Chains A and B, each alone.
Chain A
Amino acid sequence: MRTVEQTTQEVLDLAAKHFQVAQDSLAPDDDFFKKLGINSLQALELLSRLENHFGIELPDYEVQGVSDFRTLASRIQSRL
């Protein structure tokens, strides 16, 4: 079982890879919309990538209003 820290790091790594930014440029408390310059649609794409990676289903409502990596990771963690 992953720790929440590990999950958070994996979320950051995957986001960096998907949107092609330097891995060390993202931090857990960053706002992903702002930091990655993405819109809501691209955020949904990221969610699908994360679901595949973690092997879970994350309903859209679970991430409603979430905009930072840390909260996103905690939502994933609760479904692992």
Chain B
Amino acid sequence: MLDLSKYQSIGGALKDAVEVFADKICLIEADREREKERLTYRDFKERAHPLSKALQDGGFAIGARASIIMTNQSKWLISAYAIFFAGGVLVPLDYKLTPDEQWHLLKHSNATLLITEYPIWRQLSTSAGRAAAKNVQTVLVTEAPANADLVGARRWEDFRGEDEPVFIARKRQDTACIVYSSGTGGRPKGCMMTHENYLEQCVALTSIYPFWPGVRYLSILPTNHAIDFMVGFFGPFTCGATVVHLRTLRPEYVREAFPKYKITYVSLVPLVLKNLQKGLQARFDALPAGQRKMFNVFVAVNKALTKSRPRLGISRRLLKQVHEAFGGELRAIIVGGAFTEPQTLQFFYDLGIPVANGYGLTEAGTAITVNDLKPFRADTVGKPLPGMEVRIINPASDGVGEVSVRSKTVMAGYLNEPELTAETIVDGWLLTGDLGRFEGAGHLQLTGRKKNMIVTEEGKNIYPEDIEAVFESLAAKEFCVFAANYIWTARSMTGEKLVLVLHLEPGQQYNEELRQDINVRNNRLLNYKRIHGVVLLDEDFPRTASLKIKRNDLAERLAKLDSAAAILPL
């Protein structure tokens, strides 16, 4: 079992890893069918240390904040290593956000350094939001064309110091990363994750899904996301494993990567997993009747033999062709970011491909529970990881209540939000806002959400208040955006939708002109953030003394309406 007890920081653990595993392959980066580079841990160090030295020479001090906005690639991890080595705090941001959203978070995080790639910088540098984020003093841009105007940024490739950098030690309780779990439009929720959070989570996760030199992890989920940061960077690095990056995520190239690089683990969001299921099912259905019959017999035998635990060797022999399509070395698909439907999990397990589903949220480190597959339980999100105390608050007669968690992986708090932190972490227990219960054998079953938010199948957390700005000055007396399942409590974690609640002016009609205006504004939002319908309410919204909408009270009033009739499609 991995022992990180002697380390105080991510930087310290990584510093040792690049020495211990110097000759092992650390990173492989491919673009379509072309392999771009393959680095050993020694090569990695040789690229990261000059960057770290240049940061130090430039005045990057202990505790300084540095953001990375990049698609998954070697330079992401090299940059992160250099930041940790220099004692900095990493602010990983989602490259899929709009430039204004990125500047908004850069300002909120107070990052002084930004490392990004040229196509992203092209958009960021011309965005109006740049003017507000004066805290960002240095911008390093990767892979810029030779004649490109970098508008004040510097080339990452040329930013190199000459001597060895000085390793800056941090303490376990110091902030290692500020990770945004929401707040792109409204109130940013920047989770302050400590070095201890990551060190503890790494040990817990690798006790169930271990890494070692030779293991190859395919990194597809964005590295700013807690899951990929852990299982696509810190976890494999501390164990000397290899991380494979693809510069394009077209399904055909992702499929090719499995056999080409003999992938051991991959993390996917439920949407991609379902897509894989659909593709495989179509291939099975297309088999001639006789072959299909034989295939079904093998699946049934595999099912019987793996009832109590996975038996990879047997499954690989029984269902050779399926496993070869995945490279023949796949040990598990880690699925996260959103709820996965049990039938999808079962589909893969029946083929002998274990899907490690679990449950987590940024605020609690990477994962709270993980399915340990002994036995596989598609209807649950598994048991709490070692070191996680999980309890159900105020359970109803069926055992369902709010899931709360206490562990060394729970964040220190939200950046600049002491009140919100106090509401979220009570007496050391993190209130998740998710509803669930424990079944007899100790597996957690999730049943719904207590909080006003949705999670898309692509793993995106959407908070209604974050998208309300787009409807500002709409021709109506007042409006509010809700997650429909927050108003009309649904025993479901999938298919969630947002609705716009409108209170019209006296005598005003919900006419075509208004509907069109809502549509136009809605289309300005990224596709996964859009509202799906309008709910009309002919009464004043309840408000606080400072005129803020009392969302809980409003939701209670709306709950009395029949949802099917109340939601008018756009």
Which A positions have Cβ atoms within 8 angstroms of B? Answer: 31, 33-34, 39-41, 44-45, 47-48, 57, 59-62, 64-65, 67
**With A41-B272, A47-B250 in contact, do A64 and B96 touch (Cβ < 8 Å)?**
yes
State whether the Cβ of B175 lies closer than 8 Å to any Cβ in chain A.
Answer: no
Nearest-neighbor residue (CB-CB) of B119 within chain A? A61
List chain A residues, Cβ under 8 A from B123.
65
List chain B residues, Cβ under 8 A from A39.
271, 457-458
A-B contact pairs, 7 of them (CB 8 A): A39-B457, A60-B71, A60-B249, A61-B120, A62-B119, A64-B96, A64-B119
Assembled-state Cα–Cα distance A45/B249 (Å): 10
Assembled-state Cα–Cα distance A35/B311 (Å): 45
A59 touches B523 (CB 8 A): no
List chain B residues, Cβ under 8 A from A31.
523, 527
Assembled-state Cα–Cα distance A59/B122 (Å): 15
Assembled-state Cα–Cα distance A41/B250 (Å): 8
Nearest-neighbor residue (CB-CB) of A68 within chain B? B523
| B 492-521 to A, binary, CB cutoff 8 A, 1 in contact else 0 | 000000000000000000000000000000
Assembled-state Cα–Cα distance A57/B527 (Å): 24
B250 touches A44 (CB 8 A): yes
Assembled-state Cα–Cα distance A72/B320 (Å): 41
Question: Which residues 237-252 of B have a CB within 8 angstroms of A?
Answer: 247-252
Count B-side interface residues using an 8 Å CB cutoff: 25
Assembled-state Cα–Cα distance A47/B123 (Å): 21
B527 touches A48 (CB 8 A): no
Assembled-state Cα–Cα distance A62/B208 (Å): 39
List chain A residues, Cβ under 8 A from B287.
none
B271 touches A41 (CB 8 A): yes
Closest 5 CB pairs between A and B? Answer: A33-B527, A61-B119, A44-B250, A60-B248, A48-B250
Nearest-neighbor residue (CB-CB) of A57 within chain B? B32
Q: Taking the nearest CB of chain B, how far is it from the CB of A27, in angstroms?
A: 13
A44 touches B527 (CB 8 A): no
State whether the Cβ of B98 lies closer than 8 Å to any Cβ in chain A.
Answer: yes
A34 touches B120 (CB 8 A): no
Assembled-state Cα–Cα distance A60/B96 (Å): 11
List chain B residues, Cβ under 8 A from A41.
251, 271-272, 275
Which B positions have Cβ atoms within 8 angstroms of A? Answer: 32, 71, 95-96, 98, 117, 119-120, 123, 247-252, 271-272, 275, 457-458, 523, 526-528, 530
Q: Taking the nearest CB of chain B, how far is it from the CB of A74, in angstroms?
A: 15
Nearest-neighbor residue (CB-CB) of B525 within chain A? A67
Partner of A67, one of B247, B271, B272, B527: B527
B71 touches A61 (CB 8 A): yes
B249 touches A44 (CB 8 A): yes
List chain B residues, Cβ under 8 A from A33.
527
List chain A residues, Cβ under 8 A from B458.
39-40
Assembled-state Cα–Cα distance A6/B20 (Å): 58
Q: Taking the nearest CB of chain A, how far is it from the CB of B515, in angstroms?
A: 15
Assembled-state Cα–Cα distance A64/B121 (Å): 13
List chain B residues, Cβ under 8 A from A57.
32
List chain A residues, Cβ under 8 A from B247.
59-60
Nearest-neighbor residue (CB-CB) of B456 within chain A? A39
Nearest-neighbor residue (CB-CB) of B528 within chain A? A40
B248 touches A59 (CB 8 A): yes
B251 touches A44 (CB 8 A): yes
B251 touches A45 (CB 8 A): yes
A65 touches B98 (CB 8 A): yes
Assembled-state Cα–Cα distance A34/B247 (Å): 27
Q: For the A-B complex with A33-B527, A44-B250, A48-B251 known, give 20 more contacts whose Cβ atoms are closer than 8 Å.
A: A31-B523, A31-B527, A39-B271, A39-B457, A39-B458, A40-B458, A40-B527, A40-B528, A45-B251, A59-B119, A59-B247, A60-B247, A60-B248, A61-B119, A64-B96, A65-B96, A65-B98, A65-B123, A67-B523, A67-B527
List chain A residues, Cβ under 8 A from B96.
64-65
**With A40-B458, A44-B250, A60-B71 in contact, do A65 and B119 touch (Cβ < 8 Å)?**
no
Assembled-state Cα–Cα distance A33/B123 (Å): 22
Interface centre among B32, B247, B248 (most CB of A within 10 A): B248
Assembled-state Cα–Cα distance A57/B248 (Å): 11
Assembled-state Cα–Cα distance A60/B32 (Å): 11
Assembled-state Cα–Cα distance A59/B528 (Å): 22
Nearest-neighbor residue (CB-CB) of A60 within chain B? B248
Nearest-neighbor residue (CB-CB) of B274 within chain A? A41
Nearest-neighbor residue (CB-CB) of A43 within chain B? B527
Nearest-neighbor residue (CB-CB) of A65 within chain B? B98
B249 touches A34 (CB 8 A): no
Assembled-state Cα–Cα distance A59/B31 (Å): 10
Q: Taking the nearest CB of chain B, how far is it from the CB of A60, in angstroms?
A: 5
Q: Taking the nearest CB of chain A, how far is it from the CB of B305, in angstroms?
A: 33
